[in-house]
Amino acid sequence: MLPLIFSVILDTSYSWVRMFIALSISLVIGLFTGIAAARSKALNKVLMPVVDILQTLPILAFFPFAIYIFVFYLPGSIGINSAVIFLIITSMLWNIIFGVYQAVISLPSEYTEMAKIYRLNFYQRLRKIFIPAALPRMSEQMSLSWAIGLFYLVTSEIFSIGTKNYAVKHGIGVEFVTAAATGNFYLYLYAIAVFVLFVIITRLLFFERFDRFANRYYLKDYKKRKKDRFTFNSIHGIGIKLSGKTKHKLYVFSRYFFYVVLAAVAGFIIYKMIFAINIPLLSRIVNYEGYSILSLAFSFLRIWGAFLAILAVSIPLSIYVIFLSKRIKRYLLLFQILASIPATILLPAVAELVYGNSELLSFIIYFLSGLWYVIFSIIATTKYLPQSINEVKEVFHLKGIVAWKKIYLKAIMPGVITGAVTGIAAEWNASIVAEYFSAGSGKIITSVSVGMGKALNVALASNNLLLMGVLLANMVAMIIIINYFMWRRLYNRVNSVYS
């Protein structure tokens, strides 16, 4: 028993090292990118829409692709470890950039005016104004990133083992897969216990402290904080004031530069395609397209079915916690701990419970992967409602159905919409393990008949890069179209009334 626990702790430490490397890199990139995007109009125009799209894409589905590239270029275990860390960064980075960006852009203009009057140089502005101003939001986003990162970490570790050729050697995911493959129930329990213990210790020793430190820089007169929460709208950008002819020239120049780069890239792709196009390849793509759309349709039904179930649970639950219970902080802590247990960890246990019913299994994994995003998004956007709205409820005796109809259900709408975007993206992320999962030695734990996750696994197993590309292109196109035509419109409609 002791050596077993020791090996679990060792493996979890490996995973945590990956997490902290990824977090540090994300923080540095996020801090500077966020500040730069907030201070330069050109970067703002280019970067923020890209970040906005990236954060709603299920990047984990690109993992097979990432493995391929990293393992191809980097030797041995460095390759697969870099792939895992790279994946975690892609999950952590976007909301940190947004947090920093919004902290800097909503900084009252007095601060920049003050910097001009006292002629602070670039370095001084960074150190005395922008970085401190960004710290509270960065800290807030950091713990969110951590939770998302854990999901990516475990899922990518587990997934890598499923591919046998590219498996990581140490990591908490390894323990879970070993437990599942050998049917070792105790190992499984130890692994979950150690994992949760690590999560709690990290929260107490690192995130809570960092939060206290960062909140010293919290500007109390940030009345617009509530608004900043709605990151989804960021593509419309909040214009920033830039003055001076040089800056204008710089802006025009950088815009042209951007167009030139864009044209060059497009030209290169077209050039390549002209040479690449040949009839057999084209017919293969057409063949794959049919398979791809079929897979997409099946996964779509599973994921949206699970999403409806998520709504049915998360809406009443969050309303209860925000408006009716008196212990919102305690619930939040409980939710944070529960949410940090990646749904994919539970996969082997769920597989036992459903007796290998792959459809039910994938439904449960999808449900668990998306649930917390929706709940946290609702709580985050709603808890900044002014206290007086609660007082209105009391003064005018709004109770029961009236309170639900006039206040609760309406107040959570922005949170539901932003949560839906991230929650559904998380579900797509989970697809590569929810629909097909083998435990290393070829023992298949679950496999649906048709689905996107299944198809990606098949493509990787047969080293079929073309199929992988077609699959991913289809999925990305669908998500962008749904985001644009459904969620963004809903969001804009709600937002035009709410703020």
Partner 1 sequence: MAFLEVEKISFAYPKSGVTVLNGISFSANELEFISIIGPSGCGKSTLLRIMAGLIRADGGKIILDGKRIKEPSNSISFVFQDFALLPWLSNLENVKIGLASKPITEEEREKTSLEMLSKLELNGFEDAYPNLLSGGMKQRVGLARALVSNPVLLLMDEPFSSLDELTANSLRKTVIEVLKDKKTLPKSIVMVSHNIEEAVEMSDKIIVLSNKPAVVKKIVSVDIKRPRDRGSRDFRRKVDELYSIFAE
Residues that bind partner 1 (CB under 8 A): 386, 388-389, 391-392, 394-399, 402, 406-407, 410-411, 413, 494, 497-499
CB of 157 to partner 1, least distance (A): 43
Q: Which is nearer to partner 1, 462 or 499 (CB)?
A: 499
User: Cα 333 to the chain's mean position, in Å?
Assistant: 20
CB of 417 to partner 1, least distance (A): 13
Contact criterion met (CB below 8 Å) for 452 and 435:
yes
CB of 401 to partner 1, least distance (A): 10
Q: Which is nearer to partner 1, 274 or 497 (CB)?
A: 497
Q: For residue 412, count CB atoms less than 10 angstroms from its CB and return exposed for 0-12, middle for 13-18, buried for 19 or more.
A: buried
CB of 493 to partner 1, least distance (A): 11
Q: Which of 331, 422, 340, 322 is nearest to 373 (CA)?
A: 422
Q: Which is nearer to partner 1, 115 or 398 (CB)?
A: 398
Return the amino acid letter for 204: L
Which tokens is 72 given? 């191809």
CB of 494 to partner 1, least distance (A): 8
Q: Which of 130, 173, 152 is nearest to 440 (CA)?
A: 173
Quote the CA–CA distance of 146 and 19 in Å, as a whole number.
8
Q: Which is nearer to partner 1, 246 or 388 (CB)?
A: 388
Quote the CA–CA distance of 475 and 433 in Å, as a whole number.
16
Q: Which is nearer to partner 1, 110 or 394 (CB)?
A: 394
SS3 of residue 436 by DSSP: strand
Which tokens is 97 given? 């950039």
CB of 28 to partner 1, least distance (A): 38
CB of 411 to partner 1, least distance (A): 7
Q: Which is nearer to partner 1, 165 or 499 (CB)?
A: 499
∠ CA 33-39-44, rounded to 5°: 65
DSSP letters for 195-261 = HHHHHHHHIIIIIHHHHHHHHTT--TT-TTHHHHT-GGGGGG-------SHHHHHHHHHHHHHHHHH
Element (H, E) at 403: helix 400-403
CB of 143 to partner 1, least distance (A): 25
Q: Which is nearer to partner 1, 272 or 405 (CB)?
A: 405
Q: Which is nearer to partner 1, 267 or 386 (CB)?
A: 386
Quote the CA–CA distance of 82 and 299 in Å, as a whole number.
29
Phi and psi for 447 in degrees, rounded to 5?
Answer: -160, 115
Q: How far is CA 342 from CA 148, 189, 257, 314, 338, in A?
A: 9, 15, 42, 17, 9
Q: In residues, how long is the chain?
A: 499
Q: Which of 349, 371, 366, 370 is nearest to 452 (CA)?
A: 366
CB of 122 to partner 1, least distance (A): 39
Strand partners, 439: 443
CB of 209 to partner 1, least distance (A): 22
CB of 326 to partner 1, least distance (A): 13
Return the amino acid letter for 195: F
User: How many other CB atoms are there within 10 angstroms of residue 363's CB atom?
Assistant: 19
CB of 377 to partner 1, least distance (A): 17
Which tokens is 444 given? 């298949």
DSSP letters for 21-87 = HHHHHHHHHHHHHHHHHHH-HHHHHHHHHHHHHHHHS-GGGGHHHHHHHHHHHS-HHHHHHHHHHHH
Q: Which is nearer to partner 1, 107 or 398 (CB)?
A: 398
Contact criterion met (CB below 8 Å) for 464 and 284:
no
Q: Which is nearer to partner 1, 114 or 402 (CB)?
A: 402
The span from the first CA to the last CA of the chain, in angstroms, equals 58
Q: Which is nearer to partner 1, 272 or 410 (CB)?
A: 410
Q: Which is nearer to partner 1, 330 or 399 (CB)?
A: 399
Q: Which is nearer to partner 1, 29 or 398 (CB)?
A: 398
CB of 467 to partner 1, least distance (A): 46
